[in-house]
Amino acid sequence: MSRPEERGVPVAGGDLAVTCWPGDPAAEPVIALHGITANSRTFTALARELSDRPVYAPDLRGRAGSRALPGPYGLTAHVSDVLALHDHLAPGRQVTLLGHSMGAFVAALAASRHPGRYSRVVLADGGLGFPAPPGTDLDAQLEAVIGPAMRRLSLTFPDRAAYRAFFRDHPALAAHWGPDIETYVDHDLTGSPPALRSSCLLEAVRADGADVLTGPVTPGALRRLTVPATLLWAERGLLNEPQGLYDAARVAAAGLAGTAVTARAVPDTNHYTILLAPHGVRALAEEVRA
C-alpha cells in the first residue's frame, strides 16, 4: 500500500485535513467518515484492503488535523464538508461513501440529500437512528452511549507512551493492538508533554451527539436513501460487551424492508474491531466492491 498523503481541502472557516491513500486513480474513489471521537487513521486497515482504489478520509471538523476549524458543528456541517472534499478531490465523479458510527449517520444524511453523487453507501455499526423519547437529557444519553470515550477528552497524559497505554487497556481494543491502532492513537494527540490530550473538541462531540441522538433529521435519513446501501453491524458493543448498538430484533423493527438498505451482522466483532479485525475489514471491503 502506498504511504498516505495529507491534504488540505478548503471548507467554511479554513482547511479540512484529509488523509489520502492514492490507489489506482482510474478506480472509483471511496470517501470514509470516522466516528464521533475518532480520526481519519481509523481506516488504515481498510485502505490497505482497498489498495486498488483511492480512499479519502477526512479528520472531521473539530478533530485531529481539523481541530482548528470553527463551528457550527453537527451533521449538516459535516455533510457540507464532505461535499467540498468530493468536489476538490474527485470532481464530477461518483464515489462510494462509507461511514463508521457517527460517520455512518453523516454518510446516510449526505446520500439521502445528494444521491446522484454516490454509487453506493456502506455503513459500519451506525447510521440507523431511533427517535429519542420526549424530554431526553442529552448529557445522560451521551454518557450512556459514549461515556468512556467522552471522559477521555478531559484527561491529560505526560507522554505518548502513556496515551498508548490508555488505549491498550481498552477492553474492545486490547486483543487487536498493533501498528494500525498506534497510528490512530498518535494522530489524535495534541498539546505538549506533560499535558498531552485528545484533539477532539468536546463542543463538537456534544453538537454531533445531539444530532445523532435527538436531532430531527437522523431517524429518517436511512429510510429515505435511494442509493444502494448496506448496514454492517457488530455483534458486541463499545466496551466489547455482549450487547451491541444493534441486534437482529432492533434492526428488524427499524422498518428497512422495501428500502434501498440491506443489513447484516459481522460475527465476532465489536464496535471498533469491525474496522480492525481482518474478517471485519474484509466484510467492509466486499461491500465497497459489491
DSSP 261: E
Hey, what's the cell of 3?
504511504
Q: Taking the model in full, what pTM does it have?
A: 0.95
**CB within 8 Å of 41: residues ≥ 6 apart:** 19, 57, 180, 183, 184, 187
Interval 97-156: pLDDT, tens: 999 999 999 999 999 999 999 999 999 999 998 766 667 777 777 777 777 788 899 999
pLDDT tens series, the chain, 290 aa: 668 999 999 999 999 999 999 999 999 999 999 999 999 999 999 999 999 999 999 999 999 999 999 999 999 999 999 999 999 999 999 999 999 999 999 999 999 999 999 999 999 999 998 766 667 777 777 777 777 788 899 999 999 999 999 999 999 999 999 999 999 999 999 999 999 999 999 999 999 998 998 777 777 899 899 999 999 999 999 999 999 999 999 999 888 888 999 999 999 999 999 999 999 999 999 999 98
Residue 92, burial from CB neighbour count under 10 angstroms (0-12, 13-18, 19+) = exposed
Rounded to whole angstroms, the Cα distance separating 245 from 250 reads: 9
Which element (helix H / strand E) includes 266?
Answer: strand 261-266
Under 8 Å between Cβ of 110 and 97? yes
SS3 (DSSP) at 78: helix
Interval 183-200: pLDDT, tens: 999 999 999 999 999 999
Number of helices followed by number of strands (H, E) in the chain: 10, 10
